[in-house]
Structure 1
């Protein structure tokens, strides 16, 4: 199962030029995998970056501009910004089989659990 996130839990961090949003996440565990569902509304699909380094899963994205080019924005309630969130994965997962699907502002990650190696008898040689 995914352990506590590794960064703060504030809704947005504004220490950079643009706000950094922490996407709300649901984590579902089955016998064979972990399913993570992250809300990243307005994220540019080309900017999505999902990496697993050792046991740390990092998700990052940029939100796309909310208004068409050549237009003047008269009023804005949606803020452009970045999304970032990290998790420490407590169980071994099969990194080669992780799947990520982005649709309608929702990122779904499927992390298959690694198959444990069977017990093995180790021969001991007399020296």
Structure 2
């Protein structure tokens, strides 16, 4: 048996009663971090890929898509739950995001948006120089070789798509 959602049912009832089918719709998403990228999966079944519009304005990522419902003349509808209209989702990006290299792919009704972490925001080990008998030796690894556990304990929440990071001494 499907879960009963009273808010969704009330919205459906109001839409059917008032005939408002052109309002903004919220698209369900999954957001996760994989390596040096954040990934957004947005459910957009039945959307024409040409109607999908993704833009970045400062630190605001906006995903917009349009679904048009084609009516059939001369049929008696038993149920009609696949609504048309504009679907919208906005995400605030943190400071450590490479907004120039965001990519998107639409496949099987799911829009995948890949948001890379900028090179400056990636964890890295800082080399330590020592002076032993006039020779300078560099200890450590190249930038980008450090694993997160090499940087010490992190505190705080990374947040959605690139929150601030804290490093304790």
What TM-score comes out, normalization by structure 2 length?
Answer: 0.54
Alpha-carbon contact 1:18-1:80 (below 8 Å) kept:
yes
C-alpha displacement of 1:97: 1.7
Q: What is residue 114 of structure 1 aligned with on the other side?
A: 118
C-alpha displacement of 1:65: 2.7
Alpha-carbon contact 1:45-1:102 (below 8 Å) kept:
yes
Rounded to whole Å, the distance in 1 between the matches of 2:35 and 2:110 is: 23
Structure 1 consecutive aligned stretches of length 4 or more whose deviation exceeds 4 Å: none
C-alpha displacement of 1:78: 1.3
Q: What is residue 123 of structure 1 aligned with on the other side?
A: none
Q: Who wins on radius of gyration, i.e. which is larger?
A: 2
Q: How does 1:1-127 map to 2 (within 5 A)?
A: 18-67=22-71, 71-72=72-73, 74-75=76-77, 76-116=80-120
What TM-score comes out, normalization by structure 1 length?
Answer: 0.70
CA RMSD across the alignment = 2.6
Rounded to whole Å, the distance in 2 between the matches of 1:66 and 1:39 is: 20
Q: Which has the higher helix share?
A: 2
Q: Which has the higher contact order (CA 8 A, sep 6+)?
A: 1
SS of residue matched to 1:46: helix
Size of the aligned set, in residue pairs, is: 105
